[in-house]
Amino acid sequence: MSHKHRVSPGATDRGDVVDLLVTNIGELCTIHDPDLDESVPRRREDLGALNAIAGAALAVGDGKVVAWGEEEALVRELWGETGLNPAVETVDAGGACVVPGYVDPHTHAIFGRTRQDEYERRIRGESYLEIAAAGGGIQSSVKDLRQRSEQELVDLAVPRLREMLRHGTTTVEIKSGYGLDLDWELMMLRAAGAAAREAGIGLVRTCLAAHEIPPEYRGDREKYLDIICREILPRVAAEQLADRVDVFCEPSVFTLAESERILAEASGLALGGTIHADELEPYGGAILADRLGAESADHLIEIDDAGIAALADSRTVAVLLPGTVFTLGLDHYAPARKMIDAGCALALATDFNPGSCPILSVPLIQAIACTQMRLTPAEALVASTRNPAFALDMAHAVGSLAPHQTADFLILDGDDHRLVPYRAGHNPVRAVFSGGKKVFSQSSRPLNDV
Ligand code: NIG
Ligand code: FE
């Protein structure tokens, strides 16, 4: 009896399996260059390198990127003269631009009510810190959250996360930080996990118990620091409820020494670290982040020359959140160009939260980054994909279309990546693929047909 050699459907001449081929891609931004050291985030002139291919196709197998190239050459390379294997599903991109799914490395997406009352108060002249001192700000979201159930928080978060996915975010970081107490912080992290699963979005969780001193410990901050270090973080680690720990490091919130204590505790528990650094005042948060080997230092609106020097060529990614400056109506942004020139590894995030930034659209954040911080559209794209994947320690899996990466990618509604920030306020995403599966699509006329 002879055994016939069975060829799997979609098998290519070189032995790998392809189950999806995206064809007719006008501009495929792979953000992968075999000639670069891709084990580190992009800096300086490499920040704007998209490694784009025109007239391309993208081959996906088992949820991962298999290969890409100029369409005819790729089909020949994969299936020889017999041409495209009929077992392979094809998606026609209609000449559009295809980019990796966006990675949003800083959000506070679990919360109760929205805070448009504070938005109006700021427009009328009060500052973020004045509103916080009068019982608004983070404290008002804490009070609100503590009146809600875990299921309520999940139900509020799922539509927000779906909205992010529709705007192209396939991996999101979500922080706790409106609980400020063992049970509430754990509840927020569990709610983040359940909501992301239900919405079908990739998740990295961060414990931000050090977002603020809760009202009940205002007279004894040492006690709350002990609770964070001795109760909250050990439970978060034991129950694997977060991958990393964050601290709001500001003279008026947690000091440098307190931040260091919390992040040292996190590192002892094998949790990653990140810092809300130099947001409201220049304080040395970026320098601390670099010294502790943190994954990222975020905000950096007020970073000074010493901070920039610390993050230059550091493993710590500089995450900028221009939507916060825009929403708060501040008069200046983080010095992005100076930071790029110095060699900081820049990434962008939304900071989506009910107070300082209700924007959840990465395309809109890119638009603000381009006009207000002078990033080029290509730099904004790399800062929304490959570099934030490093900030989340996820670059082995997401953030580019390198072979073997998770097949998270977007089909846009134009043939040029520059159309994304150029059309600020428009959702340019026509289809979202996560792990090689289409999770969202909307029909719209490609812009290049106009
Ligand atoms: O990143 N800076 C601290 N935390 C948030 C604001 C949170 C809030 O106002 O609720 C931020 O801007
Ligand atoms: Fe934040």
Nearest ligand (C-alpha, residue 358): 1
With CA atoms as reference, report the closest residue to 173 among 258, 243, 261, 254: 243
> For ligand 1, is residue 324 a contact (CB within 6 Å)?
yes
Q: How confident is the model at residue 210 (pLDDT cuts 50, 70, 90)?
A: very high
Per-residue pLDDT at 6 exceeds 90: no
- Is 248:212 a contact under the CB 8 Å cutoff? yes
How far is the C-alpha of 317 from the C-alpha of 300, rounded, in Å?
11
HEC string of the chain? CCCCCCCCCCECCCCCECCEEEEEEEEEECCCCCCCCCCCCCCHHHHHCCCEEEEEEEEEECCEEEEEEEHHHHHHHHHHHHCCCCCCEEEECCCCEEEECEEECCCCCCCCCCCHHHHHHHHCCCCHHHHHHCCCCHHHHHHHHCCCCHHHHHHHHHHHHHHHHHCCEEEEEEECCCCCCHHHHHHHHHHHHHHHHHHCCEEEEEEEEECCCCHHHCCCHHHHHHHHHHHHHHHHHHCCCCCEEEEEECCCCECHHHHHHHHHHHHHCCCEEEEEECCCCCCCHHHHHHHCCCCEEEECCCCCHHHHHHHECCCCEEEECHHHHHHHCCCCCCCHHHHHHHCECEEECCCCCCCCCCCCCHHHHHHHHHHHHCCCHHHHHHCCCHHHHHHCCCCCCCCCCCCCCECCEEEECCCCCCHHHHCCCCCCEEEEEECCEEEEECCCCCHHHC
- Is 408:433 a contact under the CB 8 Å cutoff? yes
Q: Quick one: average pLDDT of 75-101? A: 94
Higher pLDDT, 82 or 357: 357
How far is the C-alpha of 299 from the C-alpha of 322, rounded, in Å?
8
Domain covering 15-101+400-449 assigned CATH 2.30.40.10 in the classification: yes
The whole-number pLDDT of residue 9 equals 65
**Phi, psi values for residue 411, rounded to 5°:** -100, 120
Tens digit of each residue's pLDDT (9 = 90 or more) over 24-67? 999 999 999 999 999 999 999 999 999 999 999 999 999 999 99
Span from the CA of 212 to the centroid of ligand 1 (angstroms) = 10
CB atoms within 10 A of CB 82: 10
Q: Quick one: average pLDDT of 79-98? A: 93
Sign of the four-CA dihedral 186, 189, 191, 194: negative
The whole-number pLDDT of residue 5 equals 42
Span from the CA of 449 to the centroid of ligand 2 (angstroms) = 39
How far is the C-alpha of 229 from the C-alpha of 398, rounded, in Å?
31
- Is 86:367 a contact under the CB 8 Å cutoff? no
Higher pLDDT, 250 or 11: 250
Tens digit of each residue's pLDDT (9 = 90 or more) over 284-341? 999 999 999 999 999 999 999 999 999 999 999 999 999 999 999 999 999 999 999 9
Tens digit of each residue's pLDDT (9 = 90 or more) over 257-281? 999 999 999 999 999 999 999 999 9
Q: Quick one: average pLDDT of 98-127? A: 98
Domain 15-101+400-449 identical in fold to domain 102-391: no
The best mutation among 121, 175, 211, 281 to test binding of ligand 1, ranked by most ligand atoms within 8 Å of the C-beta, falls on 211
Tens digit of each residue's pLDDT (9 = 90 or more) over 354-398? 999 999 999 999 999 999 999 999 999 999 999 999 999 999 999
Per-residue pLDDT at 445 exceeds 70: no
Span from the CA of 137 to the centroid of ligand 1 (angstroms) = 8
Where do the domains of the chain lie?
15-101+400-449, 102-391
Percent of the chain's residues with pLDDT above 70:
96
Percent of the chain's residues with pLDDT above 90:
92
Span from the CA of 427 to the centroid of ligand 2 (angstroms) = 23
> For ligand 1, is residue 279 a contact (CB within 6 Å)?
yes
> For ligand 1, is residue 105 a contact (CB within 6 Å)?
no
> For ligand 1, is residue 137 a contact (CB within 6 Å)?
yes
Nearest ligand (C-alpha, residue 327): 1
Tens digit of each residue's pLDDT (9 = 90 or more) over 237-247? 999 999 999 99
Residue nearest to atom 6 of ligand 1 (CA): 356
Place of tokens 């991962």: 64
* Helices 150-166 & 182-199 angle (0-180, nearest 10): 40
> For ligand 1, is residue 354 a contact (CB within 6 Å)?
yes
For the beta sheet containing 169-175, the strands, ordered from the edge strand earlier in sequence to the opposite edge, are 102-104, 169-175, 202-210, 244-249, 272-277, 296-299, 317-320, 346-348
CATH fold for domain 102-391? TIM Barrel (3.20.20)
The whole-number pLDDT of residue 10 equals 76
With CA atoms as reference, report the closest residue to 20 among 92, 99, 97, 98: 92
Residue nearest to atom 12 of ligand 1 (CA): 356
**Phi, psi values for residue 400, rounded to 5°:** -150, 175
Per the rule left: phi > 0, alpha: psi between -120 and 50, beta: everything else, 98 is beta
Average pLDDT, the chain: 95
Span from the CA of 197 to the centroid of ligand 2 (angstroms) = 22
> For ligand 1, is residue 122 a contact (CB within 6 Å)?
no
Report which ligand 1 atom has the smallest distance to the Cα of 324.
12
